[in-house]
Amino acid sequence: MNSQTNCLDLVADAEFPLPTRRSLRTLAVGLIVALPLIATLACSRSPKAVFVTPSGKIEVRLTIARTAEERERGLMFKSSLADGQGMVFLFEDEQPRRFWMKHTFVPLDIVFLDETGRVVDVLENLPVCPSEPCPVYTSRFPSRTALELKAGFAARHGIRTGTKVELFLY
């Protein structure tokens, strides 16, 4: 190869055989087999919290609120929340957290976690607040993470101060 020839010239001059029917069929079968597996893996890696309770592990699928804007919006304007679903609020530091229910149309439980993943406070059955003024709810202890869940979830599953929570946020 001289100084005037580069790799792209060599590739451009190369002849590539056209795919055969057999190779295309093999590729198609491979994709048909692989796609359900890929979809299953993608779904199984959605964010979740696993509460470790005396009666067993309780799994909750999560939406993540990482930014200040996402945390401020939270579950505003949601008309429903399925049991076993929730929102996780992630903060950079550990301090008492303040929440309000402005434009939140679903009663909620809020579970506060410390940096080790232990529940430090649970606010249960917080009522909806379709218009202002709305009360502000504050955790009794510093928290780094908060989970909003459908009202009654914490009581039904025995989630209380000291419960261990494993977060899988991917």
| Residue 86 and residue 115 in one domain | yes
**Is the same domain home to 11 and 94?**
no
User: Are residue 24 and residue 101 in the same domain, yes or no?
Assistant: no
Do 82 and 23 lie in one domain? The reply is: no
Q: What is the pTM of this model?
A: 0.73
Query: Is residue 22 included in any domain, yes or no?
Result: yes
In-domain check, residue 2: no
Residue 25 belongs to what domain range? 7-44
Contact 144, 113 (CB under 8 A): yes
Taking the CA atoms of residue 47, residue 165, residue 108 and residue 64 in that order, the dihedral angle to the nearest 10 degrees is -30
Domain identity same for 39 and 79 = no
Q: What is the pLDDT of residue 45?
A: 72
For the chain, residues with pLDDT lower than 70 are 1-16, 27, 29-31, 33-44
- Note whether residue 119 is domain-resident: yes
Same domain, 95 and 75: yes
Is 24 in the same domain as 108? no
- CA 57 to CA 59: how far, in whole Å? 6
- Please indicate, yes or no, if residue 95 is contained in any of the structural domains: yes
Asked if 117 and 159 sit in the same domain, the reply is yes
Same domain as 75, residue 24: no
98/143 same-domain check:
yes
Q: How far is CA 91 from the centre of its chain?
A: 14
User: How many domains does one find in the chain?
Assistant: 2
Same domain (yes/no): 147, 160: yes
* 37, 91: one domain: no
Residue 1, in any domain of the structure: no
Q: Which of 144, 86, 146, 99 is nearest to 126 (CA)?
A: 99
With respect to residue 108, please indicate whether it lies within any of the assigned structural domains.
yes
Let me know if residue 115 belongs to a domain: yes
Q: What is the CATH number of the domain that holds 156?
A: 2.60.120.1140
**DSSP notation for 100-148:** E-BTB-S-EEEEEE-TTSBEEEEEEEEPPBSSSS--EEE-SS-EEEEEE
What is residue 37's predicted lDDT score, i.e. its pLDDT?
A: 60
Q: Does 14 fall in a domain?
A: yes
